[in-house]
A and B are shown apart, each in its own frame.
Chain A
């Protein structure tokens, strides 16, 4: 199966978007060869603005540029969502300016750079901002869809991408705020997002070997969340698991949790990073270390049944 990192797809999507819309400008903070905005820089040098290693300034510059009718895409590592948070909050979200954030290298699959650079809290930070749309593409095709959709939204949008090449699946229907049923099932349901799609698909296979018919639903939009679809599957399956490459606090799991109250759910478990920081290592080894491979997810689920 073809593999491609969502950050690479983000860079490609920006070039395509830039061709169609001359209001699109891209800002980066000296990481264009990592966030993959270098492709846009090459294609449209006059619309690419390097802000130097100054993420906070990049965000407010984008805010100012948006007031001139431009559609700025800010690009840096997801871990710097924290560093530029006041600017994202007060400079962009408070006035509801039309600024997009394509933040890459999220999660532990960043790998060797280690815990200082592995954002496990960015979704939590973004979810609580009024008016912010939060997108987590699970593969390259969904990344293209997210970037295209972000440009059409009048307001702030956060797109979380990753460094590690991951499988590219056939394109699925895409509407902001709507989840996709990847596989129907009746014994339990797994809700996931982002690059954990690959591993939850493996987990579903492992469970099938044990005679467990699991449903799998993938959410490219964490906010606004598809409450309806989540509730529908929670009510149907009664056993609910969330899997994300993010802290179990504040991310997908916590978008789902409040929906389950009074819905007759028997089992609920959030699978992700358990309130700890990451560390250096190969992405594959880190996934094992934090229990996020398919077999491990299946095992965790079985032990909770």
Chain B
């Protein structure tokens, strides 16, 4: 898929995020918009065997949204990929809907792990990668984690295990937008030198200057695996990316746009 088409898909997913959070009157648009480009790159260009017509193919690459509250970005991506129709957005966060507040493997097609309790997704992804190696499955496991999420000790327990078991079939992607519910990372709990920490934990680390630039994201994801080491891609992203009044605003972490705001956002995301 060419760059322009991928960028267009990313805009479509961003419109989906606005549409579903606005309809539900709830959800997490800020951190969904910041990781949209990574998800689109993964599902439309990088991951192998990902097919809604054969969604249980055991050899498919796996994806775990460890920062499960960015579910709208995943749902938008899965919808654009054809796992379900946009009519499901009407039932996002609603009774009996397949699009739960956080991804649910039992309810939503295309979801590989139920997430939402932060820190757990990366640990599950490590188990998947270890299980794949053990069973001779050649699939690759991708997980997107948050920077606020990286305050969870479990992220580092899982990282230690990933290096210990030499999981070069695992790619951890950090959506580093610098913000969390209560404020910036530095205000709430400084991450320190997150890149140095990832290196120290045994990852092969790639930093992407603009994690919302599709070409830069693709370039990083296409770097061949480093034998015997898990990969860590540090994406420097912008919270609320693509919607002018949400960009860089902590307040849009877990707040839905009203009808008027949604209309403006959708206009900005046209094309």
Contact = CB atoms under 8 A, between A and B. Distances in A.
Whether both chains belong to one complex is answered with yes
A63 B157 CA distance: 15
A87 interface: yes
B157 A95 contact: no
Interface residues of B, number: 33
Interface stretch (A53-61, A227-235, A289-297): A53-61
A68 B164 contact: no
B112 interface: yes
B131 A51 contact: no
Interface centre among A52, A91, A96 (most CB of B within 10 A): A91
Interface centre among B62, B125, B134, B137 (most CB of A within 10 A): B134
Interface in B75-108: 104-106
A56 B154 contact: yes
Contacts of A25: 134
B114 interface: yes
Contacts of B125: 64
A70 interface: yes
B106 A91 contact: no
A96 B135 CA distance: 21
Given A86-B120, A91-B124, A94-B114, A57 B161 contact: yes
Interface in B116-139: 116-117, 119-120, 123-132, 134-135, 137
Contacts of A91: 117, 120, 123-124
B47 interface: no
A65 interface: yes
A52 B114 CA distance: 24
A132 B50 CA distance: 31
Contact of B126 (A46, A64, A66, A96): A64
A90 B128 contact: no
A173 interface: no
B106 A96 contact: yes
B40 interface: no
Nearest to A22: B135
19 contacts: A51-B161, A52-B161, A57-B126, A57-B161, A60-B120, A60-B123, A61-B123, A63-B124, A64-B129, A65-B127, A65-B134, A66-B127, A66-B131, A68-B131, A70-B135, A86-B120, A90-B120, A91-B124, A96-B106
Interface of B: 58, 62, 104-106, 112-114, 116-117, 119-120, 123-132, 134-135, 137, 153-154, 157-158, 160-161, 164-165
Given A54-B161, A57-B158, A69-B58, A64 B130 contact: yes
A61 B112 CA distance: 14
Nearest 10 Cβ contacts at the A-B interface: A64-B127, A68-B131, A60-B123, A61-B127, A65-B131, A57-B157, A64-B128, A54-B157, A64-B124, A90-B117
B64 to A, nearest CB: 8
Interface string A36-80: 000000000011010110101100111111111110000000000
A68 to B, nearest CB: 3
Interface of A: 25, 46-47, 49, 51-52, 54, 56-57, 60-70, 86-87, 90-91, 94-96
Contact of A68 (B114, B123, B135, B157): B135
Contacts of B126: 57, 60-61, 64
A60 B58 CA distance: 20
Contact of A49 (B104, B119, B130, B154): B130
A245 to B, nearest CB: 31
Given A57-B123, A60-B124, A95-B106, A65 B160 contact: no
Contacts of A61: 123-124, 126-127, 130, 158, 161
B162 to A, nearest CB: 10
A63 to B, nearest CB: 5
A67 B131 contact: yes
B134 A70 contact: yes
Given A51-B161, A87-B123, A95-B106, 7 more contacts: A52-B157, A62-B127, A64-B113, A64-B124, A64-B131, A90-B116, A91-B117
B128 to A, nearest CB: 4
Nearest to B125: A64
Interface centre among B104, B120, B126 (most CB of A within 10 A): B120
A46 B136 CA distance: 13
